[in-house]
Amino acid sequence: MTTLIESEDHKSLRAAVSAFAQAHPHTLNAEDNQRLWQDAAKLGYIGVNLPEAYGGGGAGITELALVLEELGAAGNPLLMMIVSPAICGTVISRFGTEEQKREWLPSLADGTRLMAFGITEPDAGSNSHRITTTARRDAATGEWVLTGRKVFVSGVDIADATLIVGRTEDARTGKLKPCLFIVPRDAPGFERRAIDMELNAVERQFELTLDDVRLPAEALVGDEDAGLLQLFAGLNPERVMTAAFGIGMGRYALSRALDYARERTVWKTPIGAHQAIAHPLAQAHIDLELARLMMQKAAHLYDAGDDVGAGEAANMAKYAAGEACVKAVDQAVHTLGGNGLTREYGLARLITASRVARIAPVSREMILNYVSHQTLGLPKSY
Ligand SMILES: Cc1cc2nc3c(=O)[nH]c(=O)nc-3n(C[C@H](O)[C@H](O)[C@H](O)COP(=O)(O)OP(=O)(O)OC[C@H]3O[C@@H](n4cnc5c(N)ncnc54)[C@H](O)[C@@H]3O)c2cc1C
């Protein structure tokens, strides 16, 4: 796939990542996956968006999304790229203290450390205004004390810390406002339980309990009074990166189906000559291209500093990519007939994996709600 809005530098980066990714066979083994992460980090791919002054590549979400898309297109979507460099790296770069930047950014960039991100709660779900994980300050020690529960948080076991979205009480209004805290993996009171997902992926999801987790004052990232703004700074890159995850996976599935359709012959010609097979694959390709254009637009707006414009564009790109991914995987599986469901061909497991792009980090319906209300000015039902 080529696009008009890609610079020569982007094209070379895409070619280099693609060659690197193709040389690393698809893996569901945790150790191989970790090696892939570290090799990609050594080449500067994982921290490509992080500031140069802290060991990163000094580029943007545009480049980071390109990296994830190409890894995914080779069958190795590194899910934690959505979280560690894109959300956590962005939030710390933009709002962290000098000390937090020095402590975290070089190791997130060189792949020696990872950070997970926890916002979803069992009783809040899509309604993140309802989150109840609470942070209070211990007046005697100045420490933060966090209490609450999170669910579906990816990679907590392999991450050195989790950026937890909590709330602090506004001294004047009594209202709870969102705040971000770095919680080390082994902090006392920070418990995790792996959720038994039907996903067949290297990264696992966890239910977390925070039971009076005591953190030093420096665990708070950014300004206590600008929580929402800081949160959105990380969520737009998250949506762009989820779009890249979906587009990469869709391309991978499509390429496997095309290989099969060119070869498999049960009548006179390969099955790819039948339009009933060819046209849905062509449609899947077009849908992935459309989604990629939307993703590139969102990434460019974000990198240009337009947080508001990027918000709408990133939501729409995530929607388009999620739908294109689900359809591409569905059609790819169907193209292989019975082999679509064998482990050997490895496409059936993508049926559940592709649904992640539709559900997380914000579901298809919540994006349709956003566009209905924010873009089209329609009234809210909830
Ligand atoms: C593989 C995976 C990895 C994840 N990783 C992370 C992570 O690292 N960190 C993290 O914090 N979270 C993570 N999540 C959580 C994810 O962000 C949530 O699952 C998602 O936000 C949806 O929330 P929910 O599951 O509670 O669904 P619910 O909010 O309960 O929604 C259920 C259904 O109802 C629909 N719905 C809800 N409200 C409305 C409405 N107003 N109008 C129309 N439809 C509505 C939804 O679209 C959805 O189809 C992950 C999830 C998955 C599956």
User: What pLDDT, in 10s, does the model give residues 113-160?
Assistant: 999 999 999 999 999 889 999 999 999 999 999 999 999 999 999 999
Q: What is the mean pLDDT of residues 157-184?
A: 88
pTM for the model stands at 0.97
Pick the residue whose CA is nearest to atom 22 on ligand 1.
126
Q: What is the mean pLDDT of residues 74-87?
A: 96
Cα 146 to ligand 1 centroid, rounded to whole Å = 23
For residues 148 and 121, is the Cβ–Cβ distance under 8 A? yes
Tokens at residue 153, please?
């948080």
Asked if the model's pLDDT at residue 2 lies above 60, the reply is no
Atom of ligand 1 nearest to the CA of 126: 29
Cα 127 to ligand 1 centroid, rounded to whole Å = 9
The C-alpha atoms of residue 241 and residue 247 are separated, in whole angstroms, by 10
> Integer distance in angstroms from the first to the last C-alpha of the chain?
41
Q: What is the mean pLDDT of residues 260-278?
A: 98
Cα 124 to ligand 1 centroid, rounded to whole Å = 9
The C-alpha atoms of residue 308 and residue 274 are separated, in whole angstroms, by 46
Q: What is the mean pLDDT of residues 33-60?
A: 97
Q: Which among 15, 124, 7, 101 is positioned nearest to 51, based on CA atoms?
A: 101
Q: Which among 68, 35, 80, 75 is positioned nearest to 205, based on CA atoms?
A: 80
Judged on CB neighbours under 10 Å (0-12, 13-18, 19+), 197 is middle
The C-alpha atoms of residue 130 and residue 266 are separated, in whole angstroms, by 56
pLDDT cut 90: percent of the chain above it: 88
Atom of ligand 1 nearest to the CA of 165: 11
Ligand 1 pocket mutation pick from 115, 128, 152 by most atoms within 8 angstroms of CB: 152
The pLDDT assigned to 173 comes to 73
Cα 340 to ligand 1 centroid, rounded to whole Å = 28
Note if the bond before 25 is cis, omega within 30 degrees. no
The C-alpha atoms of residue 109 and residue 292 are separated, in whole angstroms, by 25
Cα 1 to ligand 1 centroid, rounded to whole Å = 31
Distant-in-sequence, close-in-space partners of 257: CB < 8 Å, separation ≥ 6 = 281, 331, 332, 335, 336, 347
Residue at token pair 């490895």 = 346
Ligand 1 binding pocket, CB closer than 6 Å: 83, 117-120, 125-126, 152-154, 205, 356, 359-363, 365-366, 369, 382
User: What pLDDT, in 10s, does the model give residues 303-323?
Assistant: 999 988 999 999 999 999 999
Domains of the chain are 8-109 (1.10.540.10), 115-224 (2.40.110.10), 228-375 (1.20.140.10)
Angle CA(284)–CA(74)–CA(329) in degrees, nearest 5? 30
Greater pLDDT, 261 or 32: 261
Residue environment code for 270-286, b if the CB has 16+ CB neighbours within 10 A, otherwise e: ebbeeeebeebbeebbe
Mean pLDDT of the chain, nearest integer: 95
Greater pLDDT, 177 or 149: 149
For residues 110 and 47, is the Cβ–Cβ distance under 8 A? yes
Angle CA(267)–CA(273)–CA(278) in degrees, nearest 5? 130
User: What pLDDT, in 10s, does the model give residues 204-255?
Assistant: 999 999 999 999 999 999 887 777 778 888 899 999 999 999 999 999 999 9
Asked if the model's pLDDT at residue 1 lies above 50, the reply is no
Q: How far is CA 125 from CA 156, 204, 354, in A?
A: 19, 19, 20
Residue environment code for 5-15, b if the CB has 16+ CB neighbours within 10 A, otherwise e: ebeeebeebbe
The pLDDT assigned to 171 comes to 62
Beta bridge partners of 167: 134, 178
Distant-in-sequence, close-in-space partners of 52: CB < 8 Å, separation ≥ 6 = 58
E strand or H helix at 328, and its extent? Answer: helix 307-335
Q: What is the mean pLDDT of residues 106-112?
A: 97
Contacts 24+ apart (CB under 8 A), 347-353: 347/253, 347/256, 347/257, 349/200, 350/249, 350/252, 350/253, 352/198, 352/199, 352/200, 353/199, 353/200, 353/201, 353/249, 353/329
Cα dihedral sign, 18-21-25-29: negative
